[in-house]
Amino acid sequence: MCKKWLVLLAILISLAGCSQMRVSTLETLPLPADQGGNCCWQVLQQLDIEYQARHYQLTAALAHARDATSLVLLDPLGRRVLSVSKKGEQLEIYKAPELPQDLPARFLLASSLLAWWAQSDWQQVLATQPHWRLQSVAEGRQLIYRRKPLLEITYPGVPSHIIEQGLGQALLGYSKQARVKHLRLPLTIAVTNLQWTKT
């Protein structure tokens, strides 16, 4: 399992290796403010990652607070392998010593925010961005860059007006699962929300 995890890290690193891939890895995507429309909560998640014929399973802890946002990834043994904390415009990143230092942690955080933050939070931060747009699609959201779809997130059986609110009791009442699909790269992440708590 350790070897599979390192292979996944190598894939993510290769995505961030050239300037042309900075869009695909969401390096140039502006992120919403910490305090948003559906603050505050924390959630424990299971991530099932598919890349080509490979499958990886990790546990994630995502927290949305008034003054910070944090994402922690745990390996199958429960050990912390990576954490990202966002306070304002600053990112604080922890990586286990055995992990490569150029792991694109911002991509993982940005993907989580795209999936679970309120639509209004994203509309506010993208209002001044001519090339980025987050739009509603059937049972989901789609991130657009220069009029071309980049990332799609679907929530099976969830009405669009509930999706717009972001992660909360209303959304979880319909489904505890979401699917994040990269439309330019062979990468899909199935997310299962295991335990959500209002804070």
Nearest to 150 by CA among 161, 164, 135: 135
User: Over its length of 199 residues, how does the chain's per-residue pLDDT go in tens digits?
Assistant: 566 666 665 666 555 555 456 667 788 899 998 766 778 999 999 999 887 777 878 899 999 988 899 999 998 888 898 899 999 888 898 888 766 555 567 888 999 999 999 999 999 999 989 999 999 998 999 999 999 999 999 999 999 999 999 999 899 999 999 999 999 888 899 999 999 999 8
pLDDT value of position 152? 96
Following CA atoms 41, 156, 32, 182 in sequence, which dihedral angle do they give, to the nearest 10 degrees?
130
pLDDT value of position 10? 61
Provide, for the chain, the percentages of residues in helix, strand and coil under a 3-state DSSP scheme, each rounded to the nearest 5.
25, 40, 40
CA 76 to centroid of chain Cα atoms: 19
Give residue 150's domain range.
2-198
Rounded Cα distance, 13 and 95, in Å: 14
The structural domain count of the chain equals 1
Q: 72: phi > 0 → left, psi -120 to 50 → alpha, else beta; which?
A: beta
Q: Is the peptide bond before 39 cis (omega within 30 degrees of 0)?
A: no
Strand order in the sheet with 177-182: 90-95, 80-87, 69-74, 54-64, 41-51, 187-198, 177-182, 148-154, 140-145, 132-137
* Helix boundaries (H) for the chain: 2-15, 105-116, 119-126, 160-163, 169-172
